[in-house]
Structure 1
Amino acid sequence: MDCRSTWQLGVNNAVVFDDKIRFREGEEQRAEISTSSNLEAGNQDYIETSPGLSNSDEQINEKQELMTSNKMGKGENGYYDWKLDRISEREEKTMVANLMKIKKDEVLVDAAQDVHVGPELRAPDSINSILADVPSKSSSDLLTKPIPKLTIVILVVGTRGDVQPFIALARKLQEFGHRVRLATHATYRSFVKFAGVDFYPLGGDPMIMCGHMARNKGLLTSAMTEISKLKKQMKAIIHSLLPACTEPDPDTGAQFKAQAIIANAPAYGHAHIAEALGVPIHIFFTMPWTPTSSFPHSFVPMPLRPCYRISYLLLDLVLSRIIGDLINDFRTKTLKLSPVAYFSTYHVSISHLPTAYMWSPHLLPKPHDWGPLVDVVGSCFLDLGLDYQPKKELREWLEVGPKPIYVGFGSMPLQDARRTVEMIKEALKQTGQRGIISKGWGNLVTTQAITDEIYPIEECPHEWLFPRCAAVVHHGGAGTTATGLRAGCPTAVVAFFGDQFLWGKKIHEKGLGPLPIPISQLTAENLSKSIRFLLNPVVRRRAAEFSKLIAREDGVGAAVEAFHRRLPPKMPIPRAVAEGEERRKRWCSCLRSMP
C-alpha cells in the first residue's frame, strides 16, 4: 500500500451498510488489521502554591497560546477554528465524502487507494503547533501561582476502572480546599460517596455501553441497531451534564455551580458545557486520545506508521457523524448556543483542550508530537483497599500455599462464562499453578467451590490482592494494568477491545509479560503459554524492578499540579446558560489566557 505522507492517505469508501461499522484495509493489510482490532462570585480564597511536580518535560506560555490561535484563525463566533473549519464547505463535503460515505449501517475505510486529503490535514494539530523560540514558564513561577479555591465538577463516563482514578484526583483536590463533585453513572454512587466525595448521577448505563464495546471490538464496529442503542446512551449522558454542573446536591440540597470542569474524553458534551458556562475545562483520561504519529488510535488500528495520525481524525469524523445531531440539538435547545458545522470535529474533539493522561510515562512516554498542552502525569491510585480486611477463608487459603495466579476480566462481559472458567482451570492445571478467579461483569464465578487449587472471588481490592499474587492475567484496563505493575506482578493481557491491546503490547515491549491474547483467541493452550512466560525468573525480576519506578511516581499530585497550572490567570465567574452569545466570546477569551 502506498501511503505517501501522514495526510495523503489512501482512503476510499468509508461506507455504512448492512449491519456493521468497520474499517477495511487493502488486501495485503487485512490479516494484520484483524489481529489489531483483536468561582461563585465573591470567592476570594486562594491556595498559595500548587502541589507536586509534573511529569511533563514542557511548560506552556500564555504567548504560545496566542501565537497558536493566530496561526489557526478564528471563526465568526469568536472561537477557535479546527482544521476542517478552515476549508470551504464544498471542499469539506468532498473530502469527508471520500473519507466516509455513509450508507445504511457500515463504515468501511479502504486504504488501498490514494485519495488526496489536503494540506490542511497534513499539518500537525494547530493547537499543538507551538513555535520553538517562545520561552516557557519556569516551574518556580508555576508552583507559586495563586490558585483560587474552586467549585469543581468532574464528569466521568465509563466503567469502575475509569471512575476510580478520578476519585483519587477528587480527594487530592479536596485537600487543597476545592469543593469537588464527581458526576458519573448512578451505579457508582456508593463507591464515590464511600470515598468522601460528593456525587451526582449522570445518565447512561455503563454495562450496556461496555457490552456494546466488547461485542463490536470498540466504538466503530456496530450494527444499526447497535448504533441506535449507543446513541440512546449518549443522549442520556449528554443531557445529564448541565444539571451535573449547575444543580444543587441531590442529598443535601446545597447549591452548586461549577467554576471549572474536569472530564474524561467520552463524556461527550463537556466542551460545550464549558463554553455555555464560560468556565475552563481540563480533560483527563487513561487512554490516548490526542493525535500522534507514534501509534494509531486504539479504536482505529491502522497498521502503517504514516497513517497513524489520521486515525484520530477518522474517529472524530465518524463520532461526529453519529452524534453530531445530538450535540447540536443540545447546543441550540438546552445551552442556547449556535450549532456546530455538520462536518466539524468540534462535536467530539479534545485537541484544543488542556489534556492530562493518567498512566506511567515509564510504560508509555509522552509522544514527541504532543505539544505543551498535553501532560502525562502518571497513574492515579486510590489505595482505599490498603486497609482491606479479607474474609478468613481467603487469608487462610493464601497462607497455605504458594502465591497464586490472579485471573479476572473486570467489567468485560463474556459470551460463555462457564467455558471460559474451564479454560482458565485447565491452563492452571497444565502449569501447576493455584489461581484466584475473579467474577467481574463477565460472571466468571458461577457455582464454583473453594478448592486447594482454585479460589473464586467476587470482589477484592486489587491494591491489596495483587501483591499477594505471583502474576496477574486480566483484560488490560489502564487502572488494572497500573496496579498490577506497581505490585511487581508479571502481567498477561487478554484483550477485548481498544487500548487493552496497546497496554498489552507495551507490557510485552518492556519484558513484563507475553503478547496480549485477543479474547477470541483465548484457549487453555494459549493461556498456558502465557502463564509459563509470566513465571520466567527474568520476567519476574523485570517486573520487580519496574514496580520501583512506578512506586516513585506521584500521579495524583502531578495531576493536581497540571490542573492548577492550566487555570487561566483570572478565573471567570460562571454565567447562567440563558445569557446568550456574549458568553461564547468570554469563554474563548478564557481559553486563550489558559497557560
Structure 2
Amino acid sequence: MKILLVSLGTRGDVEPFLAQAEILTHAGHQVVCLFPEQFREVVEQLNYPFIGFDKRFLEMLETQSGKSVMGGGGNGFAQLKGYLRLIRDSMKVQGKLIEQQREVLQEINPDKVLFHSKALYFYLCAKQNPKKFILLSPLPCLIHPSENYPHIGLAKWGPFSKKWNLKSYGFVNGARHKAMKRLMKKYYSDFIDPDFSSNAMKDFERKDLRTLYTISPTLFPRPENWPNTATITGYFFRNQTKEYQIDPKLEDWLKLHPKAALLTFGSMSNPKPKQHSETIIKLLIQHRIPTIVNLSWGGLEKIDIDSDLIFYVNQIPYDWILPKIYGIIHHGGSGTTHQAAHHGCVQLIIPHIIDQYFWNQLIEKRQMGPKGISIHKLKADKFEKILLEFWNNQSFKENALSLAEDMKPEANKQEIIEYITQN
C-alpha cells in the first residue's frame, strides 16, 4: 500500500510522522514524506522518498517576529505585534502550501494519507473520502473537546471552568474554519457536491474525521464524550540511536555524575538565548546540579563559565540519554514530554508556545515534576525555587517511574498498522 505522510511545522511536528514511516515500512508498505524542505537531509538519510514544502514556512519562525512569539522578548504590545505579523506572513505562505498539497496528492495518488492539522487541503479531501484520509495529531484538545482543558491554542491561559473549556473549541475552530474558507474556496470545485460551510466542517471533524491522537492514555485518558472516530494510540518513537556515535568523554562524565539532568529547548529558538542560558546554567552550577546542555537549534548557548558540572552537546538522541539520567529541563514539546515520561524522568518544563503550556500543566497534575515557568517570565529568583523542587523532591521520581511502568503496554504497532490500512 502507498501511504503519503504530510506534516508541517518544526521537528516536534515531523517526528511522529517519521515514527509511523518506520512502522509502516517495516510492515512492507511504501511511504512518501511531504515535509518542510528543511527536513530533506534527515528523511533521505532514512531512505524514504521526500517531497519538500516551501522553505518559507519554517523560515518565518527565524524572523524577529517569529522568535518573539516563540520565546518572549519585548512587552505585551510587542509580542502582540509579533503574533499579528506572523499570522499575516503565514497567510501569504499558506496559499503556496495548499497548492503544493493538491499537486502532490494528484501526482502520488496514494492509497492512504496521514496528515498534520496544519495541512489544510486534506480536511476537504477527508470530508469527501473519510476512509482514505486520517488526521494524525501528537496533541490532544485540538478538535475533540475535553471539559477539563480548553482548546490547545488557549492552554497558556486555561484551564477555565468546564463550561468555558468546552466552549473554547467552538471559538478557536470556528475562526480556523473561516480562515480555511478564505484560503481554499477556489478549490471547492475539486470535489463533488461539497458542503464546506463552517457548521458542516465542525460536524464532520467532531463526528466523522478519523483522528489518531498519538499520545499516552496514561498521561491523557480518553474523554468519554469522544466519538469512535477519535482514537488515542500511545506515543510512538523511532529508533534514533542507530547512527549515533557515542562520545567517550560523555560516557566518562556520566560515570562521575550518576544523578544528572538534561537541559534542552529542542527546536525552539528565542530572541535571548545568551541571557536565558546564563540564568539557567549559573543556577545549575551554583546548586551543584550536573547537567548535559543540548545546544541544538540555538535556543541555548554556551556561557563563559568553566565547570565540570556542565557538558555541552550539539545534538543527542533522547532514547539514548534519557534512561541514564534523573530528569530533564525542557521546552515542553509533546515528543520530549512523552519520551521523558516513558523513561521515568522527572520533568521541569519552560514552555515557549501553545501546547507546551498544556504539557506543563499535565506534568504538574501527574506529580512528575513542579509546574514550570514560561520563558516569557524567566527570572533567576523564580526559576531557582522551581529548580530546587525539581532536583530535591523524591516523590517526583517515584511517580515518574510508576507512570513509566503504566505506559509500557501502550503504542501497539500492529494495531496502528491495521487501523491505518483498513478499508
TM score, norm. by length of structure 2: 0.87
Match of residue 553, structure 1, among 381, 391, 410: 410
Match of residue 8, structure 2, among 157, 169, 180: 157
Q: CA 1:532–1:258 in 2, change beyond 3 Å: closer, same or farther?
A: same
Q: CA 1:532–1:339 in 2, change beyond 3 Å: closer, same or farther?
A: same
Residue 98 of structure 2: aligned partner: 238
Cα pair 1:151 1:259 within 8 Å, conserved: yes
1:425 aligns with 2:284: no
- Partners of 2:191 and 2:200 lie apart in 1 by 20
1:465 aligns with 2:312: no
- 1:7-406 equivalences under 5 Å are 150-203=1-54, 204-209=56-61, 215-216=68-69, 224-247=84-107, 256-274=108-126, 280-288=132-140, 289=142, 290-301=144-155, 303-332=160-189, 335=190, 343-344=198-199, 346=201, 350-351=205-206, 352-385=208-241, 388-406=244-262
- Partners of 1:199 and 1:357 lie apart in 2 by 24
Q: Deviations over 1:153-203 (max 9, x none)?
A: 011112112211211111211233221112111111121222232222123
Deviates more, 1:229-238 or 1:201-210: 201-210
1:527 aligns with 2:378: no
Cα pair 2:268 2:299 within 8 Å, conserved: no
| Letter of the structure 2 residue corresponding to residue 544 of structure 1 | L
Cα pair 1:402 1:434 within 8 Å, conserved: no
Q: CA 1:563–1:339 in 2, change beyond 3 Å: closer, same or farther?
A: closer
Per-residue deviation at 1:353?
A: 0.5
- Partners of 1:514 and 1:194 lie apart in 2 by 38
Percent identity for Structure 1 against Structure 2: 23
- Partners of 2:385 and 2:415 lie apart in 1 by 38
Residue 370 of structure 2: aligned partner: 514
| Letter of the structure 2 residue corresponding to residue 346 of structure 1 | M
RMSD in angstroms over aligned alpha carbons?
2.8
- Partners of 1:163 and 1:389 lie apart in 2 by 23
Specify the SS of the correspondent of 1:153. Answer: strand
Match of residue 394, structure 2, among 537, 542, 561: 537
Per-residue deviation at 1:232?
A: 1.9
Per-residue deviation at 1:239?
A: 1.3
Match of residue 350, structure 2, among 494, 500, 509: 494
1:441 aligns with 2:293: no
Per-residue deviation at 1:235?
A: 2.0
Q: CA 1:217–1:161 in 2, change beyond 3 Å: closer, same or farther?
A: closer
Q: CA 1:457–1:196 in 2, change beyond 3 Å: closer, same or farther?
A: same
Cα pair 1:156 1:162 within 8 Å, conserved: yes
- Partners of 1:173 and 1:455 lie apart in 2 by 37
Specify the SS of the correspondent of 1:200. Answer: strand
Per-residue deviation at 1:273?
A: 3.6
Q: Deviations over 1:543-595 (max 9, x none)?
A: 2222222233235444323324xx33xxxxxxxxxxxxxxxxxxxxxxxxxxx
Per-residue deviation at 1:405?
A: 1.7
- Partners of 1:482 and 1:322 lie apart in 2 by 31
Q: Deviations over 1:299-344 (max 9, x none)?
A: 1345221011221121122123334221112334xx3667755645
Q: CA 1:341–1:183 in 2, change beyond 3 Å: closer, same or farther?
A: closer
Specify the SS of the correspondent of 1:262. Answer: strand
Cα pair 2:70 2:268 within 8 Å, conserved: no
Residue 74 of structure 2: aligned partner: none
Residue 103 of structure 1: aligned partner: none
Specify the SS of the correspondent of 1:310. Answer: helix
Specify the SS of the correspondent of 1:284. Answer: strand
Q: Deviations over 1:403-451 (max 9, x none)?
A: 3221111122212111101111122033221222222334412466863
- Partners of 2:319 and 2:177 lie apart in 1 by 38
Specify the SS of the correspondent of 1:205. Answer: helix
Per-residue deviation at 1:266?
A: 1.6
- Partners of 1:397 and 1:207 lie apart in 2 by 36
- Partners of 1:449 and 1:555 lie apart in 2 by 46
Q: CA 1:377–1:541 in 2, change beyond 3 Å: closer, same or farther?
A: same
Structure 2 unmatched runs, 5+: 72-78
- Partners of 1:476 and 1:348 lie apart in 2 by 31
Specify the SS of the correspondent of 2:134. Answer: strand
Q: Deviations over 1:322-381 (max 9, x none)?
A: 34221112334xx36677556457399732301111111111110111121111100111
Cα pair 1:381 1:556 within 8 Å, conserved: no
Specify the SS of the correspondent of 1:265. Answer: coil
| Letter of the structure 2 residue corresponding to residue 192 of structure 1 | V
| Letter of the structure 2 residue corresponding to residue 259 of structure 1 | D
Specify the SS of the correspondent of 1:385. Answer: coil
Specify the SS of the correspondent of 1:293. Answer: coil
Cα pair 1:296 1:309 within 8 Å, conserved: yes
Q: CA 1:426–1:446 in 2, change beyond 3 Å: closer, same or farther?
A: closer
Q: CA 1:560–1:530 in 2, change beyond 3 Å: closer, same or farther?
A: farther
| Letter of the structure 2 residue corresponding to residue 550 of structure 1 | M
- Partners of 1:269 and 1:210 lie apart in 2 by 25
| Letter of the structure 2 residue corresponding to residue 292 of structure 1 | S
Q: CA 1:560–1:448 in 2, change beyond 3 Å: closer, same or farther?
A: farther
- Partners of 2:200 and 2:127 lie apart in 1 by 16
